[in-house]
Amino acid sequence: MEEKTDNPKKVLHKDKTISVLNTMPSNNTIEELAQFFKIISDTTRIKILYTISKRKLCVIDIASAISMSQSAVSHQLKNLKISRIVKCEKIGKQVYYSLNDKHVEKLFSISLIHIEEGKSGRRK
Amino acid sequence: MEEKTDNPKKVLHKDKTISVLNTMPSNNTIEELAQFFKIISDTTRIKILYTISKRKLCVIDIASAISMSQSAVSHQLKNLKISRIVKCEKIGKQVYYSLNDKHVEKLFSISLIHIEEGKSGRRK
DNA sequence: TGAATATATGAGCAATCGTTCATATGATTA
DNA sequence: TAATCATATGAACGATTGCTCATATATTCA
């Protein structure tokens, strides 16, 4: 599961490619990076994160705010919780969810800048 | 394709959920955010981005550096190019790819911090 | 205790994704 | 021009994902 096809074939610039490997994180770290971006790459989860970014909310309020079913939201909250991006707190019958990671909002704002720049650069 | 199931059911705290909607980006923007995170949520693409982060490289050098087939890398470079995260420059037979987005490296470093913090918080 | 409410979860299904394989395209060189 | 090299691409296939539906669990309240 480490390396896929061992397919070295040819290298045009061996010296360059070797030096690149020094800055490359370990396979394990790359896998964690990918996993983290995957969790914030779904529109439902992004909406959930925005919804609870200001204050903690219970599941049906989140579902109502983003017009998704309770079940769908609950499933995604579970994923977000496993990834330690949200935390929850049970009060009576309700479970209140809130952000557990101060980095997510920063990632969103940086990425929105990226998106906006892409738009202005794409004008014809 | 805009709203999925229109399933309002009940709202426990209507005042809270309404105020949340003010900070929520448009559906279109959310979709673009999701698309952007999706493109950097694959290990092959992350490795490619790290590989070309220092200097531009041609396809087979990238493939060699990350031990993936030329075809797989070429397919993913196409995706990265469509998303405007990399740019390319043809010189003779080779096509040299490089980063087109200064934000990606920042996202990686912030995310690595998130991952590291997660690890230290998880100790028992 | 029983009904109602809030949340969680398993199964199933359609859609998306990333790879391989085969081959096409485009550029250089003998 | 023919052979070779670098890259791109379409089809196919397996794996993953996110939803719905039905139902389980847990808490409150009458």
Count of H-run helices and E-run strands, chain A: 6, 3
> Alpha-carbon distance B121 to B111, whole Å?
15
Query: Angle of helix A43-51 relative to helix A70-82, nearest 10 degrees?
Result: 80
Q: Do A34 and B50 touch (CB under 8 A)?
A: no
CA of A34 to C1' of D17 (A): 15
CA distance A88 to chain B (A): 16
**Nucleotide showing the shortest C1' distance to residue A97 CA:** C7
Of all protein residues, which has its CA closest to the C1' atom of C22? B71
Amino acid at A107: L
| Average pLDDT per 10 consecutive residues for chain A, totaling 124 residues | 38 62 87 98 98 96 97 98 97 97 93 87 55
Residue A80 CA, chain-centre distance (Å), reads 9
A41 touches strand D (CB under 7 A): yes
Using the predicted structure, report yes or no on whether residue B71 has a pLDDT greater than 90: yes
pTM score > 0.95 for this model? no
**Angle in degrees, CA A84, A89, A95, rounded to 5:** 105
Determine phi and psi for B99, rounding to 5 degrees.
-70, 140
Pairing label, strands A86-91, B86-91: unpaired
Q: Do B64 and A34 touch (CB under 8 A)?
A: no
CA of A38 to C1' of C21 (A): 28
pLDDT digits (tens, 9 = 90+) for A28-44: 999 999 999 999 999 99
CA distance A42 to chain B (A): 5
Query: What is the token pair recorded at B56?
Result: 């531009």
Asked whether A11 and B60 are in contact (CB, 8 A), the reply is yes
Residue A25, Ramachandran bin (φ over 0: left; ψ between -120 and 50: alpha; else beta): beta
